[in-house]
Amino acid sequence: QVQLQESGPGLVEPSQTLSLTCTVSGDSISTDTYYWSWIRQPAGKGLEWIGRIYASGSTNYNPSLKSRVTMSLDTSRNQFSLNLHSVTAADTAVYYCAREREVPAALSVYFDLWGRGTLVTVSS
């Protein structure tokens, strides 16, 4: 059974970097079958896609966050990571990692498996 688990600090100071890791068990992140994404959700609000990383290490980021986001892979640990720089209180949210699938020939993607999420609070 494939599982995703987020980990990282629950509290980050303003202007610092938010760093989270997603550990994937039961599947290899090196496969080309899936992509690996981060999604966040402020309390009481909707979902916001942050970006994805492919097995090759290539990335796509939400244009609204692109200037502050970097993602990376650690295939030896079967993990992928998110760094969000220069955070403010507006970045306080539950952060989810998710497995993403593409619909062949349709240029369409969706999320078939999610981690349980981790709350990150930006505060001094």
Partner 1 sequence: SYELTQPPSVSVYPGQTARITCSADALPKQYAYWYQQKPGQAPVLVIYKDSERPSGIPERFSGSSSGTTVTLTISGVQAEDEGDYYCQSADSSGTYVLFGGGTKLTAL
* Residues found near partner 1 in the complex (CB under 8 A): 37, 46-49, 52, 60, 62-63, 96, 102-103, 106-112, 114-117
Q: How far is the CB of 82 from partner 1 (least distance, A)?
A: 15
Among residues 67 and 108, whose Cβ is nearest to partner 1?
108
Among residues 89 and 119, whose Cβ is nearest to partner 1?
119
CA distances from 122 to 29, 39, 73 (A): 29, 17, 24
**H or E element: which one contains 24?**
strand 18-25
Among residues 15 and 33, whose Cβ is nearest to partner 1?
33
Q: How far is the CB of 41 from partner 1 (least distance, A)?
A: 9
Among residues 19 and 41, whose Cβ is nearest to partner 1?
41
d(CA 115, CA 48): 15
**H or E element: which one contains 99?**
strand 93-103
Q: How far is the CB of 76 from partner 1 (least distance, A)?
A: 26
Q: How far is the CB of 37 from partner 1 (least distance, A)?
A: 7
Tokens of 118: 């981790």
d(CA 117, CA 86): 21
Phi first, then psi: what are they for 79, rounded to 5°? -130, 155
